[in-house]
Structure 1
Amino acid sequence: MELSLAHPAVKAFMCGSLSGTCSTLLFQPLDLVKTRLQTLQSSRQPGLGRVGMVAVLFSVVRTEKLLGLWKGISPSIARTIPGVGIYFSTYYSLKQHFFPDRSLRAIEAALLGGGARTVAGVFMLPVTVIKTRFECGRYNYRSVTGALCSVCRTEGPTALFSGLMATLLRDVPFSGIYVMFYSQTKAMLPKDISMSASAPLANFSCGILAGILASLITQPADVVKTHVQVKPQLRTAKAIGYIYMENGLQGFFRGTVPRALRRTMMSAMAWTLYEQMMAHVGLKS
């Protein structure tokens, strides 16, 4: 079955892609800092003290210039344009199919958010692997295409799906928790606010709250995912053991601040822009 540009799912894909692209461009530096923090060597090594977000930020600017903060933006965009589009179009299609004429209950919102993220996460995992390697600073890839070819040639195609389980354990709960809290807090807003010109700001605030909660809950899975994708010889269970042996329990929360900031702001902005653009094209999100 062919889909035209006027098809609602296609409109949802385009609105989602545009909203995701805007937020990715703004918050890529936070993602890079988060990845660098998570892939630092053991804090027990001689001469390596406790390193925080600000120290990593200044280190990147000093050694790689200001534009170094946007290292990995090419794979980020390559992942975001189709990935966020797939996420929102899947979410919209599922919602219209199962719950077309009513608001979502908490568990329904969690299932829809998690289901949509599963589809997008599996489809875009190879680009996610390349993006993580770009950001960690240990690989000298020149382009997304070159990186994909290099990984396939030297490690085999299966390396492009390294960290699949850890990625799903991070992204599916995050999206489910986020959509659940976001939809429920939005439903609690007074009607005069929801219908006013300040509705986007109110929705953005709901997104901030939902993003913080979802980020904190899924942070350990994000650290494991990063290690598996940077060191493909590790499997999820071994990565968990490696992180614990190297840094203890606190190792599972490395990069919490930049990730929480980025994921929260990106999700809140993406959802706010998505809903505004959907309303502009005459569709209910």
Structure 2
Amino acid sequence: MELSLAHPAIKAFVCGSVSGTCSTLLFQPLDLVKTRLQTLQSGVQPGSGRVGMMAVLLSVVRTERLLGLWKGVSPSFARTIPGVGLYFSTYYSLKQHFFQDSSPGAVGAVLLGGGARTVAGVAMLPVTVIKARFECGRYSYGSVTGALRSVCRTEGPAALFSGLVATLLRDVPFSGIYVMFYSQTKASLSKEISTSASAPLANFSCGLLAGVLASLITQPADVVKTHVQVNSQLRTVEAIRCIYMEHRLQGFFRGAVPRALRRTMIAAMAWTVYEQMMARFGLES
């Protein structure tokens, strides 16, 4: 079936997958550095003292060469290509169903973003677990499928859904808050800007602002999620206690800079590419 004849939700899936692929390839190093920072000094990696983003980045390049910064890109692709596609197709379907004749307000935007992320987050969680393990440097999996088989064999299938609560506590609010800020800032743009050639740049700027705010609000849940997925024996409450005992409140913001950079840039680029591709199909995003 040609894409021009496909259902709008399928077109949204394709647009989302393309946008997710581009952004993941560009910003994977930031995600790896974020994961290493969050798991540092927690029994996964040795060390003492305060370690910053640049120190981790240089350490990875020195010990694993430049391509080491893209370690975990395979599970990232395995998660992002279908995951972002599923997110945008779910978002489009929900929006058409509940807001076909009107634009969603702030609360509606939160519900749309959160609903779409819930579906995509649960569906792609097993690959998210493998991705976190690839990036932390503790495991030596050869491939995504090999890692999935290894986890199922040694820890049981339930391990592939470790960190589900922390993941949803992170991703659902992030997506809801992001969509709310993004849609509201876009709505505040003048009609001249929205219809001009600079509209993609303006939309990207709105995405940057929304991404920074959403990232900072949900950062503690991201740290907890990473600890639970890297250490399969930990539960969410235990991870919270361990992080607080070791690093106090600042431990919940470890890796905030690379995560904010990555999530903000990925989300802004994904939404900009998605909206431009949907416009090419003659569909309202």
Is 1:202 matched up with 2:202? yes
Aligned residues with identical type, % of pairs: 84
User: How far apart are 1:41 and its partner, in Å?
Assistant: 1.1
| 1:206-285 to 2 correspondences below 5 Å | 206-285=206-285
Give deviations 1:62-90, integer Å, cap 9, x for gaps.
Answer: 00000000000000000001000000000
| 1:57-206 to 2 correspondences below 5 Å | 57-206=57-206
Gaps of 5+ in 1: none
How many residues are matched? 282
Hey, what's the Cα distance between the residues in 2 that align with 1:65 and 1:47?
A: 20
Give deviations 1:105-163, integer Å, cap 9, x for gaps.
Answer: 00000000000000000000000000000000000000000000000000000000000
Hey, what's the Cα distance between the residues in 2 that align with 1:51 and 1:33?
A: 11
Give deviations 1:155-180, integer Å, cap 9, x for gaps.
Answer: 00000000000000000000000000
Distance 1:282 1:47, change over 3 A: closer
Q: Please provide the CA RMSD for this pair.
A: 1.5
4+ runs of 1 displaced by more than 3 Å?
Answer: none
Distance 1:159 1:47, change over 3 A: closer
Distance 1:47 1:226, change over 3 A: closer
Greater Cα offset, 34-43 or 106-115: 34-43
Hey, what's the Cα distance between the residues in 2 that align with 1:192 and 1:46?
A: 55
2:205 is matched by which residue type in structure 1?
S
Contact preservation (8 Å) 1:4, 1:10: no
User: How far apart are 1:47 and its partner, in Å?
Assistant: 6.0
Give deviations 1:189-219, integer Å, cap 9, x for gaps.
Answer: 0000000000000000000000000000000
Greater Cα offset, 99-108 or 71-80: 99-108
Hey, what's the Cα distance between the residues in 2 that align with 1:125 and 1:30?
A: 20
TM-score, length-scaled by structure 1:
0.97
Structure 2 match to 1:53: 53
Contact preservation (8 Å) 1:21, 1:81: yes
Hey, what's the Cα distance between the residues in 1 that align with 2:174 and 2:272?
A: 17
Contact preservation (8 Å) 2:220, 2:253: yes
